[in-house]
Structure 1
Amino acid sequence: MLKSHTEEKFVQAILYFAHNTQALGKIKLFKLMFLLDFEHFRQTGRSVTGQEYRAWRMGPVPAGLVQQWDQPEDGLRDAIRIVPEKVISHWRETVIPLQPFDATHFSKRELRLLESIAQQYRETLSDAMIDVTHAENGAWSKTWQEGAGKDQVIEYRLAVPDDAGDREAVLEAANLYAGIAAAQGR
């Protein structure tokens, strides 16, 4: 079965992080995907992978990846293997790439962002990334609201600060992208 362009980018982003970071477990992957999508939206008004993120106590989670984690669909199942790995006092579900990364699905900006995020967090463990994804006045924090927003969708628009000089242009682009996607039935 052919995957959509968005589904392919979702799988390829995971492959990129699996090939270019260390100690890539479930939580770290969730945080990297969130950073990728929300930073790209902040810059352009569009996410990279099209994932919906939800506010959970431990941070933002990509809903589509959570749904596939234990029983991956064909594209993800063919691309990665999830291997339980004992790490001191807990088990990490380590992501092992089974295929090479295919850059042809990404724009130059998306590739630069993938590279920048992977480089910044290459050796970082998931616990150390909590401050970044849980930043005060960040998208997760604004949604979570000390538990009141539990399991609520984190709106991408929250990635664009109220005082951003290009806020209106980014949000206008987001509306345009949303209109195109709706017209195409996505």
Structure 2
Amino acid sequence: MLINREREKIINLVAYFADNVNYLGKTKLFKLLYFVDFEHYKLTGRSVTGLDYYAWKMGPVPTMLFDEIERPEPDMQEKVKVQQKTLQNNKKMFCIEAIAQFDSRLFTKRELRLIGEFAQKYKEAKAEDMVEATHLENLPWSKIYNSPTGKQKIIPYELALRTQELEEMKAFISERQDFIGLFK
């Protein structure tokens, strides 16, 4: 399997959240990744992980990770252990535990700050709380999921921005791509 920087960041983020929040299962993990990515996009015009999120009933889901959490690839297994547990209400939960240290060198200072802020804010939250937080009206998930054809559709990062911010960010992204193109 090809390991790229985005994949390394994703795996390390899973390990970080596993070490720094309680009650980490698939749902809570997906919501934390979504919050970090969309907030970072709002600030910089790019996500932290490069993941695409889809508008599923329970909230935004990075489909690339959905199945892998249950059956992790070897590189993910080096950082985290996933175990299925039965809760008191007989529901099944995939509990995620870090088994290797988080590598902060993969992240910028801004990314680390955001990751830490969301871990702190949702440290004690349960999955149900996280679902509620992502379903607030006028947030990106809600805008897509509640549209006539939005269920199961990709959630565009641009929805994290207000109209004026969107125009400014599009200009910034275009300039950034032109600049990067000079070095190719």
TM more than 0.5: yes
1:51-70, aligned counterparts within 5 Å? 51-70=51-70
Partner of 1:110: 111
User: 2:74, 2:178 → 1: CA distance?
Assistant: 29
Residue identity in the other structure for 1:17: F
Percent identical among aligned pairs is 36
Distance 2:52 2:25 in 1: 20
1:24-43 superposed matches below 5 A:
24-43=24-43
CA 1:153–1:33: 2 relative to 1, 3 Å: same
Distance 1:25 1:169, change over 3 A: same
Task: Give the corresponding residue for 2:4.
Answer: 4
TM-score, length basis structure 2: 0.89
TM-superposed CA distance for 1:76, in Å, is 1.2
Q: Which runs of 4+ in 1 moved over 3 A?
A: 173-184
Equivalent residue, structure 2, for 1:154: 155
Unpaired runs of at least 5, structure 2: none
Q: How does 1:1-186 map to 2 (within 5 A)?
A: 3-89=3-89, 90-145=91-146, 148-162=149-163, 166-175=165-174
CA deviation map 1:66-100 (0-9, x unaligned): 14223222221221111122322022210011111
Cα RMSD for the two superposed structures: 2.4
Following superposition, the deviation at residue 14 of structure 1 comes to: 0.9
State the aligned residue count.
182
Secondary structure at the aligned position of 1:82 is classed as strand
Where in structure 1 are there 5+ consecutive unaligned residues? none
Asked if the contact 2:48–2:111 (Cα under 8 Å) also holds between the matched residues in 1, the reply is: yes
Note if contact 2:158-2:166 (Cα within 8 Å) is conserved in structure 1.
Answer: no
The amino acid across from 1:71 in the alignment is: R
Contact 1:57/1:147, CA 8 A, preserved across alignment: no
TM-score under structure 1 length normalisation: 0.88
